[in-house]
């Protein structure tokens, strides 16, 4: 009987060793994939930021017109990305548009995450009526088309940079609130929250002091994704004439100006579109890399498969020693 038991435990231990080894290799591959993606995306995003910050100082004025050099294709003399119908340098306008898009997207992202975090905390509170009201507000906001909201607000006011940032905050806070709310609800049943409530901590203290720190990794993960959505939103609103107004260069405005010449001057729309796609891809890559890194950190803190393998090995050793003695 001891031999059968030892054989069974040995096979079980071997199976667990193989599972743990496979899981370990999976963790290693995921770790380095996430790290590589994060590094590459961060470098790419850093280059875009450098172009946006230094480009207007190193390149020609994006508003300078030269009708003699109008509609020059890419890789022309003195104009590596070509010119537009007014002879303005496309590379200089792309750099200036990058600065505008980055400023608007960062401010919109910060505002939407701030409002979304507050509303998500309120939605996950114990107060049933307050949570119900915030949930309905989130549902209404997510169901309301932001383009229609932009048209209504711009019609009542004027299209300007502060109004554009306000539109982004109004359009983006609900998605962030949904994520924060789900995290708050998942943390509510945990022991540390119940212990805080048992010792008399009020709801505000529980949400801010105890649950609040657990939201930081999620906020850092969704921030780049939110910024990429803001860049697309800014380009969309500027393309519709509701965002950054001429003559200030913006990627969406360049798409609007170039659509008339799409058949004869492809670079007027293709180059701004590529700039938008690369920037959004870099931000999404940063968000995905951070998500993979945070998942790996959580797995390393608590790895039940390894603990089961260790227990199985110890049990097998005890049985083997007991059988030898007998």
Could you read off the pLDDT of 221-262 as tens digits, one per residue? Answer: 899 999 999 999 999 988 988 888 888 899 999 999 999 898
282: CATH = 1.10.3720.10
CA dihedral 213, 215, 220, 226 (to 10 degrees): -150
Instruction: Report if residue 106 sits inside a domain.
Output: yes
Rg for the chain, CA atoms, rounded = 28
Asked whether the predicted pLDDT for residue 323 surpasses 50, the reply is: no
Instruction: Report if residue 311 sits inside a domain.
Output: no
Number of domains present in the structure of the chain:
1
Instruction: Report if residue 102 sits inside a domain.
Output: yes
Which of 17-26, 64-73, 189-198, 299-308 has the highest mean predicted lDDT (pLDDT)? 64-73
Instruction: Report if residue 229 sits inside a domain.
Output: yes
Instruction: Report if residue 26 sits inside a domain.
Output: no
Domain range for 255: 60-304
More confident residue, 202 or 180: 180
Asked whether the predicted pLDDT for residue 192 surpasses 70, the reply is: yes
Asked whether the predicted pLDDT for residue 22 surpasses 60, the reply is: no
Mean pLDDT across the chain, nearest whole number?
81
Q: Following DSSP, what letter does each residue of 232-258 receive, concatenated?
A: HHHHHHHHTTSSSPTTS--HHHHHHHH
Helix (H, G, I), strand (E, B), or coil: what is residue 89?
A: strand
Asked whether the predicted pLDDT for residue 309 surpasses 90, the reply is: no
Instruction: Report if residue 176 sits inside a domain.
Output: yes
Asked whether the predicted pLDDT for residue 215 surpasses 80, the reply is: yes
CB 37 within 8 A of CB 67: no
More confident residue, 28 or 127: 127
From its phi and psi, is residue 71 left (phi > 0), alpha (psi between -120 and 50) or beta?
Answer: left
d(CA 146, CA 129): 27
Instruction: Report if residue 241 sits inside a domain.
Output: yes
Asked whether the predicted pLDDT for residue 31 surpasses 90, the reply is: no
Q: Check residue 317 and give its pLDDT.
A: 47
Which of 152-156, 256-260, 314-318 is predicted least confidently?
Answer: 314-318
Is 198 buried (19+), middle (13-18) or exposed (0-12) by CB count in 10 A?
A: exposed
At which residue do the structure tokens 């540390």 appear? 192
Instruction: Report if residue 19 sits inside a domain.
Output: no
Q: Check residue 32 and give its pLDDT.
A: 57
């Amino acid at each position: 009987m001891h031999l059968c038991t030892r054989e069974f435990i040995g096979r079980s231990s071997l199976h667990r060793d193989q599972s743990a080894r496979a899981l370990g290799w999976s963790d290693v591959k995921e770790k380095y994939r996430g790290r590589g993606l994060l590094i590459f995306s961060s470098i790419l995003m850093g280059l875009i930021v450098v172009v946006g910050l230094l480009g207007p100082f190193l390149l020609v004025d994006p508003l300078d017109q030269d009708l003699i050099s109008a509609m020059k294709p890419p890789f022309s003399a003195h104009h590596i990305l070509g010119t537009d119908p007014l002879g303005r340098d496309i590379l200089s306008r792309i750099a200036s548009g990058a600065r505008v898009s980055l400023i608007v997207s960062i401010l919109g992202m910060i505002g939407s995450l701030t409002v979304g975090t507050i509303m998500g905390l309120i939605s996950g509170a114990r107060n049933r009526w307050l949570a119900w009201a915030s949930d309905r507000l989130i549902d209404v906001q997510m169901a309301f088309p932001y383009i229609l909201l932009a048209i209504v607000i711009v019609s009542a006011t004027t299209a300007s940079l502060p109004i554009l940032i306000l539109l982004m905050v109004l359009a983006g806070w609900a998605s962030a609130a949904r994520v924060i709310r789900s995290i708050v609800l998942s943390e509510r049943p945990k022991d540390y929250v119940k212990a805080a409530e048992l010792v008399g901590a009020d709801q505000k203290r529980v949400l801010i002091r105890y649950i609040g720190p657990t939201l930081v990794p999620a906020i850092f993960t969704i921030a780049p994704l939110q910024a990429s959505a803001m860049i697309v939103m800014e380009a969309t609103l500027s393309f519709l004439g509701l965002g950054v107004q001429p003559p200030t260069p913006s990627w969406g405005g360049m798409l609007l100006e170039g659509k008339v010449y799409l058949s004869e001057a492809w670079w007027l729309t293709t180059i701004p579109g590529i700039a938008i796609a690369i920037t959004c891809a870099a931000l999404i890559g940063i968000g995905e890399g951070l998500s993979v890194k945070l998942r790996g950190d959580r797995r390393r803190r608590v790895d039940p498969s390894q603990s089961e393998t260790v227990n199985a090995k110890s049990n097998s050793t005890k049985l083997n020693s007991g059988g030898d003695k007998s």
